[in-house]
Chain A
């Protein structure tokens, strides 16, 4: 679809503002009621989904042109999907997140780029990663880890580290732990090391559909060649890419997040938690594992009307509203750890507050990114938790940076680290 194909939605947006908040049913306090970090930080209406529908309509109708402000509005969206969940509490024929992405694609197509993003894009084109590091260093995280490289030995299950876990030394231990745990559980797992490429999710969300497609096609080809049947990843961005975006382009590979795999092993009795980990923690649902962690469902249909003016789809259109995201698996793992006390924040599951790292925001608007993460840390602190636990390297890094900047003492863990501690 192109942006102009969203004109019906732009006109059908009733301007109700639900996109700015978490679903009202879940509001437990004044403090933690916002859902959309973009408008929460920037305040003008245009920084919400309804606002972006209006801006898009204004551009399409020729009522306005690209300005710095327009770029600011469009690129200061984390593409976290909170608006999408809230809108779909009441609406069955609106796709705010899709429209938002389409708006980005249009801006990129029209050459309305952010220099900060271009910097990353150019590096990505050369070095296959979003971390501004040389491709040759991609496999260093696994040095010393006795894990096979699928180039040399076949494996049914591929552990895809992702750019963040591959190059961020502060997070290496988390991916090492994940691989070690899975190997210990007897999983036939391999990695691609320096041959691994970016999943393309981040550039997709920045608006670079073409770049994304290139990486997607390349990755799918590589997996096919290597005979991979299952991808496991600890990075939620990659998870979302493989689970939702790649299948649209044809792949049928099984995609599992590390936490899902650990939960599966736990449920099957293949791993056991028998060590005490006495800590009070809270769990942060990564956007791309939670509300955007739903699997792709193929659909090729069209809009039709029933009862004169009710807009529906033929055939029945799949609904991505966060209903089937991955929420229970990480919680089950955490609840199973002896001594660990899990306390929930107010905004969780499909209505979780974003960590602030997505949508190209961390790259282009570090202050806004940091603010978003800090808000989440405040929410975590309000539960009395000592640590915030999550299942995404981007979330982890953003939280660690925010905590460091503020001098806070909250700890940040990956689910898999605590699982390892309990074994």
Chain B
């Protein structure tokens, strides 16, 4: 152990290797039901060179590496070691915003850059990026994008990985590479000199290398910077609700809005989830939920760059008419919440405590991909399982996020629980497992297979599993990158 410690210090420096029990304990578990396991060390590199050396060292010494970029709390279990002897590679110290190119609307950032850090800097340049719904303030932007966390603006998702573009990655075999159009001139700086801005993520050559890192839970390599496509910050931005008592009643309108790409933010929440993101604590959440409609379609209408007021005006009229044709109403507020309030919440990192923790202290999410029209069946199934196990279905947060310009959607159930209550936690674990299984049977696609979903997803698809293992064998032949995750 001491030899390893020494070697790690040689790579990242004395103050950047942690091995005291308190620190290790913090990395050993998260809010999920992943089996806690302490790493042996935490290494905190500060540049790509150190990362490269670290990975090469890990290959030589057969040491598992578990990457982590965001601050706690974590929820997915992907940052908890699955095998003993692991070294956490904490990239949160690599937190430079390397460049913001306003003209080309691109930002190049390191993995430790969080939403709280990036958004204000982009705002100074009149830019924004689509973000997940009220992410943790210490959430790594690259971490979020690599894990394909859904963002709230489907109109700008020409493909699922948007707005992620080019990367610099150290693969599990220790080879550093840049993806996409980067590196044509030898370095980032030389690219910039020539006027390139890391816009095109494809390739290089004939593999989409950046996709090997996507939802890989750090299992293929470590990303040391990424370029991110930005949008122009709207000058006029309003948010509206379309309430309904049944979620299906909103689909026709939602599909039309998705088809026309009308609206920036476009998502569906049940009343409980709306209350959770707006509420401050349990009592307040319950009170809000009591007054909210059962379901809302949330539509953000933005005008940016030119004629913003006119753009917003016509979109508001058109969308209001479309809603009316369907017996619905586009309204700027619902009882207990205004559009402005909700916009403020979903466009910014969550205030503390993280909104999912506010009701009972912890939350277990079940999420998967499907198509919008199928979501009611999943809601029914989730409610049925919850009710059968004594969990009040009225307290399940439902979040339906259309993705990829409407082709599919992220369907998420948030289950609040008190982790400190052992029996409650145990019941939640059971509920989580049973519901996940039931939803799988109904056709849920666990495209981001954390924890027990991994076995479910990969058991369903033996061929993909086989191919993925072979891909892993190419980029991480010694299986040192977060072993035990996915199907590896």
Q: Do A and B touch each other in the complex, judged by CB within 8 A?
A: no
Q: Which residues of B contact A (CB under 8 A)?
A: none
Q: Which residues of A contact B (CB under 8 A)?
A: none
